[in-house]
């Protein structure tokens, strides 16, 4: 499929090599038969999504692999890469393929290995039909593999992006949310009614999950400017600074208050009281940043 043109010259013809066409041919051949995931991703990056041959090549390769997945893609990495590439050129005709991928569970020697495939399918599906993708995201929200948190993490972010806070709230209430997945659920609740977020703050205040608590703090801070009664949120944040045993989070919160120029909270940090020397030092360190602005 390479292309060479013949350009006339005074003495006949000279062959002119078309590098772009050859690069396209090579990239499509990698999609069709490449076994290295990194090479496949690199090939997808070189091809324009508007080229209909790209989508056709991705779908054909995906279907070929699904005929014998254990032999051709034992860890699901190739299929996940293919669906990530399909995201930019997917069509309504691909919806059934993507729904099947979002329901795929496969097992390696010890662990389930298709978590990233389900996450990639969810994102590609959202490019075709947000409503269908939202239903799958709710189903996948509690589905979090060790190490990556996927596809639950992607599900939480997608639901937040789609303006669907209720499943995130239900997941946090259910008692199974943890880590980055819980944090993303909290961040997706930044605009919910005051009472909802304050009740969650009270329920999670004693949690040992620092990653989840970081998301809660972000939700409280992000929503603060638009709250009808900011005093209740300010009290919750100051209570965290005074009482939380998670000193790294206390440092993060005090620094963020200063960085965002939350004047009421800054004055409260100045006023204290801060009887514990370590907590006083954290607050002073944050307030010192004001001298640099």
Instruction: Answer yes or no: is 217 within a domain.
Output: no
pLDDT tens digit sequence for 195-211:
999 999 999 988 999 99
Question: Residue 215: inside a domain, yes or no?
Answer: no
Residue-range definition of the domain harbouring residue 56? 1-137
Please indicate, yes or no, if residue 223 is contained in any of the structural domains. no
Q: How many domains does the chain have?
A: 1
Helices (H), 103-193: 115-128, 130-140, 152-161, 165-173, 179-187
pLDDT score, position 12: 54
Look at residue 6 in the predicted model and tell me its pLDDT.
53
Q: Which residues of 57-68 are buried (b: 16+ CB within 10 A; e: fewer)?
A: bbbebbeebeee
* Strand (E) or helix (H) holding 258: helix 247-259
Burial string for 153-185 (b: 16+ CB within 10 Å, else e) reads: bbbbbbbbeeebbebbbebbeeeebebbbbbbb
Q: How many alpha carbons fall within 13 Å on the CB side of residue 190?
A: 19
CB-based contact 79:117 (threshold 8 Å): yes
pLDDT tens digit sequence for 127-148: 999 999 999 999 999 999 888 9
Residue 1: per-residue pLDDT = 40
Which pLDDT tens digits describe the chain residue by residue (293 residues)? 444 555 555 555 555 556 778 888 999 999 999 999 999 999 999 999 889 999 999 999 999 999 999 999 999 999 999 999 999 999 999 999 999 999 999 998 788 999 999 999 999 999 999 999 999 999 999 999 888 999 999 999 999 999 999 999 999 998 889 999 999 999 999 789 999 999 999 999 889 999 999 999 999 998 887 777 789 999 999 999 999 999 999 999 999 999 999 999 999 999 988 888 999 999 999 999 987 65
Q: What does the pLDDT look like over 235-259, one tens digit per residue?
A: 999 999 999 999 999 999 999 999 9
User: Do the domain assignments include residue 266?
Assistant: no
**Residue at 227 is within a domain:** no
Q: How far is CA 135 from CA 77, 139, 143, 162, in A?
A: 24, 7, 14, 11
Contact present, 85 and 58 (Cβ < 8 Å): yes
Q: Between 152-161 and 165-173, two packed helices, what is the crossing angle to 10 degrees? A: 140
Q: Is residue 201 part of a domain?
A: no
Asked, for residue 65, whether it belongs to a domain, the answer is yes
**Cβ within 8 Å of residue 149, ≥6 positions away:** 179, 180, 181
Looking at the domain assignment, is residue 63 inside a domain?
yes
Q: Is residue 121 a contact partner of residue 101, using CB atoms and an 8 Å limit?
A: yes
C-alpha Rg value of the chain to the nearest Å: 26
């Amino acid at each position: 499929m390479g292309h060479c043109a013949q350009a006339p010259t005074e003495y006949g013809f000279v062959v002119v090599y078309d590098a772009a066409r050859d690069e396209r041919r090579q990239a499509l051949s990698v999609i069709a038969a490449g076994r290295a995931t990194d090479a496949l991703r690199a090939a997808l990056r070189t091809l324009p999504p508007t080229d209909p041959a790209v989508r056709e090549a991705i779908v054909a390769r995906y279907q070929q692999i699904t005929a014998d997945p254990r032999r051709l893609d034992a860890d699901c990495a190739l299929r996940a890469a293919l669906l990530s590439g399909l995201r930019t050129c997917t069509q309504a005709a691909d919806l059934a393929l993507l729904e099947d991928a979002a329901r795929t569970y496969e097992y390696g020697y010890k662990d389930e290995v298709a978590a990233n495939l389900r996450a990639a399918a969810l994102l590609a599906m959202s490019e075709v039909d947000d409503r269908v993708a939202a239903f799958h995201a709710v189903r996948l929200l509690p589905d979090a593999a060790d190490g990556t948190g996927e596809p639950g993490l992607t599900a939480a972010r997608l639901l937040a992006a789609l303006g669907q806070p209720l499943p995130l709230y239900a997941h946090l209430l259910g008692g199974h949310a943890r880590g980055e997945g819980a944090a993303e659920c909290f961040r997706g609740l930044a605009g919910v009614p005051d009472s909802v977020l304050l009740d969650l703050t009270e329920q999670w205040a004693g949690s040992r999950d620092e990653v989840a608590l970081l998301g809660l703090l972000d939700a409280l801070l992000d929503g603060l400017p638009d709250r009808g009664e900011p005093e209740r949120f300010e009290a919750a944040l100051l209570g965290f600074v005074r009482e939380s045993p998670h000193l790294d989070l206390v440092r993060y919160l005090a620094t963020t208050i200063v960085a965002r120029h939350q004047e009421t909270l800054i004055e409260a940090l100045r006023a204290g009281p801060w009887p514990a020397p370590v907590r006083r030092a954290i607050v002073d360190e944050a307030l010192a940043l004001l001298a640099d602005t």
